[in-house]
Amino acid sequence: MSNFLHVSVSCIESIIDAPATLSKPNRRWHLAFATIYYSRAFHSLLNKKNKKTSKLPLSTPSFVVLNVEPHLAFSYIDHKSLTEVVKKKNLDQLREFGGVAGVADALKTDAKNGIHGDIEDIARRQKAFGSNTYPRPPAKRFFYFVLEAFKDLTILILLACATLSLGFGIKEHGLKEGWYDGGSIYVAVFLVISVSAVSNFRQNRQFEKLSKVSNNIKVEVVRDGHRQQISIFEIVVGDVVCLKIGDQVAADGLFLHGHSLQVDESSMTGESDHVEVNSHHNPFLFSGTKVADGYGQMLVTSVGMDTTWGEMMSTISRDLNEQTPLQARLNKLTSSIGKVGLAVAFLVLVVLVVRYFTGNTEDENGNQEFNGGKTKANDIVNAMVRIIAAAVTIVVVAIPEGLPLAVTLTLAYSMKRMMADQAMVRKLSACETMGSATTICTDKTAASGSEIEISGSPTEKAILSWAVLELDMDMEVIKQYYAILHVEAFNSEKKRSGVLMRKKADNTIHVHWKGAAEMILAMCSSYYDASGSIKNLDDGERMTFEHIIQGMAASSLRCIAFAHIQIPEEEQEISEGMQKLKEDSLTLIGLVGIKDPCRQGVRKAVEDCQYAGVNVKMITGDNVFTARAIATECGILRPDQDMNGEAVVEGEVFRNYTPEERMEKVGKIRVMARSSPFDKLLMVQCLKQKGHVVAVTGDGTNDAPALKEADIGLSMGIQGTEVAKESSDIIILDDNFASVATVLKWGRCVYNNIQKFIQFQLTVNVAALVINFVAAVSAGEVPLTAVQLLWVNLIMDTLGALALATEQPTKELMEKPPVGRTEPLISNIMWRNLLAQALYQIAILLTLQFKGESLFGVSEKVNDTLIFNTFVLCQVFNEFNARKLEKKNVFKGLHKNKLFLGIIGITIILQVVMVEFLKKFANTERLNWGQWGACIGIAAASWPIGWVVKCIPVSEKPFLSYLKW
């Protein structure tokens, strides 16, 4: 027993493997753990002795097994308290933890090299502190979209019609045959709701997937001494995360080291002022905030649901059912057409009632139906039921159920295809708005590119790779010679960055600057000559350097200057305490020209946009000469274009114009050099005021205001900061301007496809409405039953929407000017096409209605079937006409759209089934080969009619300029 209890402190330490390198608090924790463990072991043995009355063993094993849970490795730090310390910014309590260094030690993190980062280490940390994810609100189920579809006014009107039709049908024909009309409307409603709900459900799922992709931000961390990119979801407590301008802070944490770090906490606090983060006064960083300036490294203390951002985001459900402007316009159009239908139906109802009660209608035997007091009440009720049914049929045919569906299908299809073409749509309305774009304001990033493996900004990558690969500079060795005291990070306002550092060898302090050449040159009073001697920078030498800078810029080189000054001993203490670096009397070290090569395909893409009537403007921070050279190389500026000096301006000049001058000159500007973020925003606002639909590309944090202000914000997926991506509508995944031109083409395709479908749909509606109205008023009955009309209006429209919505972009789309913001949805060309086809169909079908029986020598039932069959086949042939609104050759590219051909085939098969096999349900009679041939021949005439009609010119003024859809 005495052997068991005699445990030395050194033995305890060896058992639990407490390294001597641990800090005093951690060594004390290890000893405390051992003491508690052995107390429990001793207590357990005493209990066993009392129970079994057996003697304690005289000898004990030479080792003790400790079953320590993985998370117990971090038990000596109260994570809940640490989380609260960071959330409440409690500096006093942080000091009790031993400061940032004490927290890092407790989390087993090396402040310089990070965590080990092996699989076991990550798993241990995730088990102890959780993962950097948060539960999202459950996705909307299919039933939700079914209920949403039921709320549509069109559906509610159809349901009311179905109920009336079902009741009247059963009243007149009995249950066995009376349910056909009403039942078919119910089936139609079911199909509309099903297709709409499935489409919206799939679109919602697609958005959920895109949301996961866009939320999966790449973050730079230090693990095992190496910098590496990982997913934001893989960050664990204890990670050292690198932060730079534009980054989103990935978790809650503490500032380790860095310079001039300022954070935008507006997403958390609503305060727009940037908060400075440093070691002394405010080392706290919060998930979801954005880095506004400077750079640094942070120690992660809380992840996922332990962060304020995680708690907030888990309760927010993004509304994926946004209604795009085009959908809103189409809903208005559908509503207007529905109102016209209701008015016509009411008119028919009044006319038929008047005809009946004035004795102008006859029954099947040729007798007058209404004969004053002699007519039975039951006969009057049946007649009224028939009349109301005819009016209901007209309402059914007037409502274009397929229109909203066509938009949904088109947008969903184009969004999927745009993803394959390197464009990720964040906002659905951007798909269609891009088709109306009249101006694209791009920065240089989308037009040029460089590929270097050294980390840093693109400029730093280029300079460092040149120094390492060409000048054999050893960066690691040089870094050992100096201690960095303060850094002024680069931003687009200053266009320069500086560093204050101490040379370790002689303890001297130096300031180094790099940045835009003309700005650095203005800060210099001397320069190093080729031999390394310092020479005075007089006016003559300054002029020489300015010519060199301009020469480089004219060769489309971005000119960077380096300058330096050693701080005198008497000023050293002041400089070390100052936050502002010395900016005058510098010595110019040298000039470097960086080539931003024009990406392959950019010039062609710019030409395509210009050919399509879209102005491309370049807004850059480079000087005038570089900007002009790059713009000329990319085709944005023609060599002879800037003769009068209005095509290229500097940001400051543009800023200082009066509002009237800006509005006058903004249209002529092609390049804006030396621009600030405010200048870019100002240009976008001016263009919008002039009625332009503006698309803006950007990659930096400074681009966010312009991206938000623009009609379509396009951010860069590779070089773009998280702030820029958050502010944009579409992310260009490959950072290439050629993809911007592709997005423009897809935008026009969406708009064009919807116009094609509107033309096709309205031809059906106009023809059916007029035929039924004329027939009802003149003959007292409608030739097309509710079942037949719903087949035409629903199945044809649903399939037609699918066929026309999946047409791919063509070269012709880029040959027309943009449609602009105020263009009517139904253009004069569409009115010309649809009225010609509708008039032809009305003429043919009314001829068949009044003369068909005598012309074909058939019964009334067969004649009604001929009318129905001809009407449907007219729509099949007209679907081909709808493929091209202006071009005469409607078959061009048909072989590429297999879906279109498949849908035409399915439609014809279903029509054959309706006519030949669903005799009772569809109220049809079988047709012979001759009759089928006649129907096909009449319908096929719509092709030559379409060709001839497209030769007729139309005026520019909108046909219905007084109506605003």
3-state SS class at 640: coil
Q: Is 173 left (phi over 0), alpha (psi -120 to 50) or beta?
A: alpha
Q: Is 613 left (phi over 0), alpha (psi -120 to 50) or beta?
A: left
118 CB contacts (<8 Å, ≥6 apart)?
224
Distance CA 842, CA 764 (A): 10
**CB of 649 within 8 A of CB of 670?**
no
3-state SS class at 495: coil
Find the angle CA(513)-CA(518)-CA(523) to the nearest 5 degrees.
50
Distance CA 658, CA 664 (A): 10
Distance CA 64, CA 73 (A): 18
Whole-number Cα distances in Å, 264 to 257, 285, 289, 292:
18, 10, 6, 6
The string over 633-671, giving b where at least 16 C-beta atoms fall within 10 Å of a residue's C-beta and e elsewhere, is bbbbbeeebbeeeebbbbbebbbebeeeebeebbeebbb
547 CB contacts (<8 Å, ≥6 apart)?
none
Whole-number Cα distances in Å, 746 to 208, 752, 753, 813, 899:
22, 10, 10, 9, 18
- Burial status of residue 203 (CB atoms within 10 A of its CB: 0-12, 13-18, 19 or more): buried
The secondary structure of residue 246, as a DSSP letter, is T
Q: Tokens representing 184?
A: 């078919």
Provide the 10 A C-beta neighbour count for residue 625.
Answer: 21
Q: Tokens representing 850?
A: 């009044």
Number of residues assigned to the chain: 965
Nearest Cα to 810, choosing from 893, 888, 737? 893
The string over 208-234, giving b where at least 16 C-beta atoms fall within 10 Å of a residue's C-beta and e elsewhere, is eebeeeeeeeebbbbbeeeeeebebbb
Provide the 10 A C-beta neighbour count for residue 363.
Answer: 10
Q: Token match 């190389």: residue?
A: 633
Containing H/E element for 66?
none
Whole-number Cα distances in Å, 336 to 160, 341, 489, 934, 964:
19, 9, 58, 36, 10
One-letter amino acid identity for 753?
A: N
Catalytic residue (one of 105, 247, 252, 443) = 443
Query: Phi/psi of residue 150, each to 5°?
Result: -65, -20
Largest CA distance in the chain: 125
Q: Token match 């510098």: residue?
A: 586
3-state SS class at 577: helix
- Verify whether residue 421 is a known catalytic residue: no
Q: Token match 């009349």: residue?
A: 387
The secondary structure of residue 584, as a DSSP letter, is S
Instruction: Provide the total of helices (H) and of strands (E) in the chain, helices listed first.
Output: 37, 22
Give the dihedral of Cα atoms 330, 962, 433, 879; nearest 10 deg. Answer: 50
913 CB contacts (<8 Å, ≥6 apart)?
none
Bridge partners for 514 per DSSP = 497, 562
- Burial status of residue 716 (CB atoms within 10 A of its CB: 0-12, 13-18, 19 or more): buried
26 CB contacts (<8 Å, ≥6 apart)?
76, 105, 106
Q: Where are the beta strands (DSSP E) in 573-724?
A: 586-595, 615-619, 648-650, 671-673, 694-698, 712-716
Give the catalytic positions in this structure: 443
